[in-house]
Amino acid sequence: MKIEYLGTGAAEGFPAMFCNCEHCRRARTDLQREMRTRSQAIVDGELLIDFPPESYLHAMRGGLDFSAVRYLLVTHSHTDHFYAQELCNRGYRFAYKMAADALDIYGNEEVRSVFEEGIRREVRPAVREGLRFHTVHAFADFKAGEYRVLTLPARHGNKEEALLYCVQKKDKTFLWLNDSGPLYDEIYPFLAEKGIEADLVSFDCTFADEKEPSSERHMNIFQNMQARDKMVEYRLVKADTKYYVTHFSHNGAPFREEMERMAERYGFIAAHDGSAAEI
């Protein structure tokens, strides 16, 4: 299983479009290395996690064929994670000779609402036929082609049922844990009952190594460590499991070298745009 981090930034991106803080000004002097676009990952070239406004850029920059994507897992409806309007271009005269006939989209009820509203004005009937939405809730266990997918509740506000995902293919498993604050206690026994042993865990590290996070909707590296310890306690991970951190905000000064040093200090790997992992 190949996991590629297409975007590793928080909602505002890095550097932030409207910001002139010292971190964003410095990042603009070396965009090729320091830029962090909004969060997205792709698995084996055919399963996407989230669909931000930069999806077009991600496909072009990564040399990826997004027409081959068959499954899209959406964590929640915030625009930095789901830009539904772009899906209006999947077919008709906007896209010929697509590799996959249809795209199966999975998300909560609010994501479905945003999807329907986002495509309503522009979608062509021929495009709409190839977009299949499936409403899912926390603690579900379903199949998406060759993939087994488990949904987990995210701690990310109370306006919708934000989700995290466990993705399994054959004997390989990875956990995608953003956006979320500290994980709910119910997650650990649920995964244990499902027999999960993750080969890669990707954590929300929006607040980097800030001692006191300003919100319960995201995590810092110390909360990531606590979650990792609980996973060890519940035997959800292996001796060689890889632990990544992502979803960095400009508030945490997420320069690539600094984040890599911070993550390594605590036994993690800091993802950057373009990072890839094989498990």
Query: Could you read off the pLDDT of 1-48 as tens digits, one per residue?
Result: 999 999 999 999 999 999 999 999 999 999 999 999 999 999 999 999
Please tell me the predicted confidence (pLDDT) of residue 212: 80
Parallel, antiparallel or unpaired: strands 163-169 and 147-153: antiparallel
> In the chain, what are the domain boundaries?
2-278
157 has a pLDDT exceeding 90 = no
The whole-angstrom separation of Cα 80 and Cα 272 is 17
Q: Judging by beta carbons within 10 Å of its beta carbon (0-12, 13-18, 19+), is residue 135 exposed, middle or buried?
A: middle
Please tell me the predicted confidence (pLDDT) of residue 37: 99
pTM of the model: 0.97
Please tell me the predicted confidence (pLDDT) of residue 213: 73
Q: What is the pLDDT of residues 53-65, one digit of tens each?
A: 999 999 999 999 9
Please tell me the predicted confidence (pLDDT) of residue 211: 85
> Does CATH place domain 2-278 in 3.40.1390.40?
no
DSSP element (H, E) containing 214: none
Q: What is the pLDDT of residues 212-226, one digit of tens each?
A: 877 889 999 999 999
Average pLDDT over residues 182-211: 98
